Amino acid sequence: MDNNKDYLYVDSSKDSQQTKFKVSKTSKIEYLINEKKYSKALTLIDESLKNDSDQYYYFKAIIYDKQEDYEKSINFFNKIKNQSEIKLLKSKVLYKRAKISYFPALEYEKALELINEALNTIPENQDPSEYYFLKGEILEALKDFIGAKKAYLIAYKEFEKLKEFEKQIEYLKNTDDTLINITGGYYYNFTPTNGMIVNLVKEPENEHDSDAIAVYLDKEKIGYVANSEYTLMDKVKSASKLKNQISDNTSAEILFVYLDEYTIARIIF
């Protein structure tokens, strides 16, 4: 074997014939990394690549990523001058740092910062679905259910539903309509459909809530106007606040189901 330290000799066999070939130090570093000989690889990097800063930082970043030291890995990726060539690798490390280091530790704000950076880093020709799914989980943990819903829809590539959801958000933000949330549909086996006209009937004798307002489709009860903090949201009026504003002949139009939870209807006066 040649003693020249610039090369690594590797045996290769084909048709029972032994051949030898030599590869550069860069390939030797890759070989050591693949063999999980990280200490030897780091030593060789320090000895041979200091004059090639991008290569030096690149291999350091790769090794620290494999050692799950994502902070150091990202720091070395950030030092590389030609960022366009390492965007995908860098985005993956940012993703792993968010998912493995911070999300399980309940450090959601830091995890969100990292996943946003990963999404800004990943090349446009790569599929970011996995990143958006993690972002949805983080936002859900932060109780940002609107942001989480958007992230999940992007992750599942449901872009038409995303457009519709954004229209719902805009409507709720700007409308002057009087809105209610219809609850209890599950117990009455009711599936809401946009455009349905329902009737509101006050139930002052209701033993559970004297402010209760029942909701009927034709002559069949399908739920109640929401009247507790757990079933209310911004822009929606409670049964208690609504009961003195409506008559027994008041109707409402079902508009949409919001956040897979709230059946939103507008009062028809």
Q: Per-residue DSSP letters for 118-139?
A: HHHHS-TTS--HHHHHHHHHHH
Distance CA 124, CA 6 (A): 38
Using pLDDT thresholds of 50, 70 and 90, give the confidence band for residue 211. very high
**In this structure, which CATH number among 3.40.640.10, 1.10.10.10, 1.25.40.10, 3.30.1160.10 belongs to the domain 85-157?**
1.25.40.10
pLDDT in tens, 136-168: 999 999 999 999 999 999 999 999 999 999 999
Query: What does the alpha-carbon distance between residue 203 and residue 224 come to, in Å, rounded to a whole number?
Result: 10
CATH no. of 177-268: 3.30.70.2330
pLDDT at 191 over 50: yes
Spatial neighbors of 164 by CB under 8 A, at least 6 apart, are 256
CB 114 within 8 A of CB 97: yes
| Residue 1 clears pLDDT 50, i.e. is over it | no
**Both tokens assigned to 210:** 């004297």
Q: Which residue has the higher pLDDT, 238 or 36?
A: 238
Report pLDDT digits (tens) over 55-84: 888 999 999 999 999 999 999 999 998 788
Nearest-angstrom CA–CA distance, 22 and 39: 22
Topology alike, domains 85-157 and 177-268? no
Please give the structure tokens belonging to residue 145.
Answer: 């259910």
- pLDDT tens by residue, 91-147: 999 999 999 999 999 999 999 999 999 999 999 999 999 999 999 999 999 999 999
CB 106 within 8 A of CB 121: no
Specify whether domain 1-81 bears CATH 1.25.40. Answer: yes
Helical H runs in the chain?
25-34, 38-48, 53-66, 70-79, 87-96, 108-121, 129-141, 145-155, 159-174, 239-242
Instruction: Assign residue 226 a region (left: φ > 0; alpha: ψ between -120 and 50; beta: otherwise).
Output: beta
Retrieve residue 135's tokens.
């972002």
- Candidates 144, 135, 72; CA nearest to 99 is 135
Closest CA to 62 of 33, 40, 83: 33
Report how far residue 36's alpha carbon sits from residue 264's, in angstroms, rounded to the nearest whole number. 57
CA 39/CA 47 separation, integer angstroms: 12
Domain extent listing, the chain: 1-81, 85-157, 177-268
Angle between helices 129-141 and 145-155 (to 10 degrees): 160
pLDDT at 169 > cutoff 50: yes
Q: Which residues pair with 254 in a beta bridge?
A: 265
Please name the residues in contact with 263: beta carbons below 8 A apart, sequence gap of 6 or more: 181, 182, 183, 185, 192, 223, 254, 257
